[in-house]
A = this chain, B = another copy of it.
Amino acid sequence: MTDTSTPRTDGALSRRSVLAGAAAAMFVPASVAALGSTAGAAPAVATGRGTTAAAAGSPATARATAGTVHKITMYVEDLGNGQTGYGLEPGKATIPGPLLEMYEGDTMEITLVNTTDRDVSIHPHGVLYDVNSDGSPFNRSYNGPGETRTYVWRTTGERSLGRWARPGTAGYWHYHDHAMGTPHGTAGVAAGLYGGLIVRRQGDILPDRQFTVVFNGMLINNKLAPDTPMFEANHGETVEFICIGHGDMFHTFHLHAHRWANTRTGYLEGPRDSSQIIDNRDLNGGDSFGFQVIAGEDVGPGAWMYHCHVQFHSDAGMSGIFLVRNADGSMPDGAQESIDWFHDHEGSGHH
């Protein structure tokens, strides 16, 4: 095990160790941590502490000063079985697509390569774009079959308005297709064309691990239990969940034994912050939120469930595992038994 922990920008958190076998992995893309995932690795565009998952073979995009222009190429690729994904390299498309990150003040230029025979696009939430980067047929902003097109996303900090401030663009956002099938990209979203987008504010706390969870219709990351992602972290690591809702159903996201504040970051802004603390939240079409928790903090390591709390959705397979390993990366007592139980009992085929 290699200790690659680095000082935090805020100086408030203790040093952490990263998962054995994923040395130097500061930003682990969601699908890498997914046990049994059939999708390839989704390389994250890491703008945080400077490195991405070496184990995933993804290029590191170092964090520069605010105002960085991130130029990336994204490939839309068919993955078979009616599934389609975004990827940062040819042949590497995943569902969800790569987790993209920026700081307020940054710009991202995305050259989108459409390798499919349908119209596709990339439409972001939260960030700034002109009509040419809207990603909609409505604004003639999409890629025809085989076409390449560049989309530009910008960000900004908040602006003082006297006692108020106009919001900036910091947040847990997301991107998705807005062109395939209908004017609203319904076919593209259903096929898997979605991913997480984080815009951080300078000084925000950075996580050790990141998990993207997309409730899409009755699926999680286009899978049903027991094939839903198992997210893994070591006891004491700071993990970040990016939760996104899509499709035609209503959902609530619930995580066992961990909780967060219903704020921009999941943290409170000190003792006078009146925000509600939650462990369950609505997650409907186009919604997104994120938060960080210390894996197993105050509750210990073990296998914990995350699931939609609409009863028949969880019964039908909208559930998965958050595996908190021991601090040294070893398996906690009983966790393998829980994982086995999950594979034997969860999902619509079991009831």
Interface of A with B (CB < 8 Å)?
10-13, 125-126, 128-131, 134, 136-140, 154, 156, 158, 160-171, 182-184, 186, 189-190, 203, 205, 245-248, 250, 252, 254, 256-257, 259-282, 284-289, 294, 297-300, 302-305, 307-315, 319, 332, 334, 337-338, 341-342, 345-346, 351
Contacts and interface: CB of A to CB of B under 8 A. Distances in A.
Given A274-B268, A284-B282, A300-B131, A259 B165 contact: no
A189 B311 contact: yes
A201 to B, nearest CB: 9
B10 A163 contact: yes
Given A162-B10, A164-B267, A261-B274, A310 B282 contact: no
A105 to B, nearest CB: 12
Contact of A256 (B134, B189, B342): B134
B167 A287 contact: no
Contacts of A332: 131
A134 B274 contact: no
A251 to B, nearest CB: 8
B248 A286 contact: no
6 contacts: A10-B161, A126-B279, A140-B338, A158-B268, A166-B268, A280-B287
Contacts of A12: 160-164
Given A163-B270, A269-B272, A286-B309, 8 more contacts: A131-B332, A134-B302, A138-B342, A156-B298, A183-B315, A248-B312, A269-B274, A284-B309
Given A134-B256, A182-B351, A270-B165, A126 B311 contact: no
A279 B175 CA distance: 12
Greatest chain B CB density within 10 A among A130, A245, A310 is at A310
Given A276-B171, A277-B169, A284-B310, A130 B300 contact: yes
A314 B182 CA distance: 9
Nearest to A248: B312
A162 B270 CA distance: 8
A205 B164 contact: yes
B280 A274 contact: no
A169 B134 contact: no
B183 A137 contact: no
B311 A246 contact: yes
B10 A131 contact: no
Contacts of A315: 182-184, 186
Contacts of A252: 245, 284-287
Contacts of A271: 158, 165
A289 B170 CA distance: 21
Given A131-B302, A186-B315, A252-B286, A163 B307 contact: no
Given A10-B162, A169-B277, A134 B257 contact: yes
Greatest chain B CB density within 10 A among A12, A257, A311 is at A311
A167 B250 CA distance: 27
Given A169-B277, A285-B252, A285-B311, A302 B162 contact: no
A304 B123 CA distance: 13
Contact of A311 (B248, B294, B309): B248
A165 B268 contact: yes
